[in-house]
Amino acid sequence: AVLGCVIALQKEMSVTPELSPSWIFVAAQIYSPRLDTLSHALQLNPHVVSIIQQERLKRGSPDMCEDILAVGICVEETKLLPVTSITECQTFLRKIEQLQPCLERVLSPSYSDLCSPGFLKHFENI
């Protein structure tokens, strides 16, 4: 994910790609909302890591997409939870409350400014 941030930053600045500690530091600072969202989503659903890795291999693109994929998977899994009893309803609501900070970040205008145009279409699915 951090490598995707470095690549995106270097593309935006039209510089020769180079991986160095200073580029990593600056990219991590600029894209911290996306990295924080990814971290939060992975804390909620650690098993999402393997799904994201598979998707990343399919795409073959260096663009950062892990945060959008992770949040999307978390939302889809939450939508599939049964809500036929009080206990299940409480579980569903707890999951929604846990996801809310991620969704608020992802759906904010400042967040979409950090995403490549190709990934903006994924916001519609969330």
Compute the mean pLDDT over every residue in the chain, rounded to the nearest whole number.
89
Cα(21)–Cα(77) distance, integer angstroms: 36
Q: Give the Cα separation of 103 and 72 in Å (integer).
A: 9
Both tokens of 51, joined, read 């799904």
pLDDT band at 96 (very low <50, low <70, confident <90, very high): very high
28-43 pLDDT, tens digit per residue, is 999 999 999 999 999 9
What is the sign, positive or negative, of the torsion defined by CA atoms of 39, 43, 44, 48?
Answer: positive
pLDDT of residue 28: 96
pLDDT value of position 63? 78
pLDDT at residue number 119: 67
Torsion of CA 124, 106, 112, 48, to 10 degrees: -80
> Does the pTM exceed 0.75?
yes
